[in-house]
Each structure stands twice: as C-alpha cells, then as structure tokens.
C-alpha cells in the first residue's frame, strides 16, 4: 500500500502562544481605570465644564424669521415681513441646514414650525443663534469661520 502525504495537516506549534500579550491587556485595563477615575473625580468634585464656548456681553442682536428648503436655498425676513436675504443654494446651504435642524427641534418639542429666531454677536466675536420656542441654541463658530460669516452677514444687513 502506498504511503500518502497528508496535505491538509497543519503545524499547530505556533498556536500555543498568546494572541494578545498580557502586558498589553494590563496596560489597556490600567488606562481605562485611570480615565474612569479622572472622570469620576471631575464630576464629584464639582469641576466646571470646560468644553462650553466662552460667553460674553451681547453687542448685536437681531430677531428674524427663517425659511428654507431641501435644495439649500433660504429666505430670511424681518419680523414685519421685510426681506433681509434671499439666498440661493450656493449662498444659503449652511443657513438652510440650520433651518432643517430648527424644524427637527420644533417637531420634537411639538411647537409651531414657524416662529422667530434670535441671532446674537458677543463682545468676544462669537456668534450664536437661539430659538426661543424650544430653548435650542448653537454657537456658530463651532461650524467654521465661513459658516459663521454667513450668519454674520445677516447681522450687518
């Protein structure tokens, strides 16, 4: 009888070793515990929240109505209906995006979808938008300087 080679046999000598070194597991667990301890200490000691944008004194404020559509165009009117800006999709993309967020927030809070918004500029140069009907607000500098400038132009008009 002829001897056949077992071509499907595998070398199992390499499988006895650890897949993840114990030192690495220990280091990761230690890191997680240190982070957990720091977060717990921060919350329990009453440390102030440091990731909020700095506030200042309001230097400019404008209340207006905003409407937009899914194409990116937006229409901004004064409370009396005077047109402030009629923006095409290229100019009003970010403003229309904010309008969609406001619509979602108003739907969540079950308030009227139409209503005034307030745009404010602080003495430190930051710009924020507020929705009095839901309490929602956003610091627009967090979206980049170009997007903040889109709303800053509305304050200037």
pLDDT tens across 36-65, in order? 999 999 889 987 777 677 778 889 898 999
Partner residues linked to 63 by β-bridges: 118
- Domain count within the chain: 2
Q: Tokens in use for 157?
A: 């008009």
Q: Which residue has the higher pLDDT, 85 or 10?
A: 85
Q: Which residue range(s) make up the domain with 130?
A: 58-156
pTM equals 0.62
Contacts 24+ apart (CB under 8 A), 139-143: 139/53, 141/53, 142/53, 143/94
For residue 11, name the pLDDT band (cuts at 50, 70, 90): low
Residues 123 and 67 in one domain: yes
Q: Is residue 9 part of a domain?
A: no
**φ/ψ (deg, to 5) at 150:** -60, -40
Residues 45 and 80 in one domain: no
Q: Is residue 33 part of a domain?
A: yes
Residues 30 and 95 in one domain: no
User: What span, in angstroms and rounded, lies between the C-alpha atoms of 68 and 64?
Assistant: 13
């Amino acid at each position: 009888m002829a001897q056949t080679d077992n071509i499907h046999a595998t070398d199992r000598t390499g499988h006895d070793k650890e897949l993840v070194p114990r030192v690495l597991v220990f280091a990761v667990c230690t890191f997680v515990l240190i982070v957990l301890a720091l977060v717990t200490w921060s919350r329990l000691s009453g440390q102030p929240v440091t990731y909020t944008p700095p506030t200042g004194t309001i230097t400019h404020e404008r209340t207006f109505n905003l409407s937009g559509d899914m194409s990116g165009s937006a229409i901004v009117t004064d409370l009396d209906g005077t047109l402030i800006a009629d923006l095409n999709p290229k100019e009003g993309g970010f403003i229309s995006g904010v309008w969609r967020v406001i619509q979602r927030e108003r739907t969540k809070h079950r308030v009227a979808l139409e209503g005034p918004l307030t745009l404010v500029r602080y003495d430190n140069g930051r710009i924020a938008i507020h929705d009095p009907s839901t309490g929602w607000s956003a610091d627009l500098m967090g979206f980049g300087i170009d997007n903040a400038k889109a709303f800053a132009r509305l304050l200037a008009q």
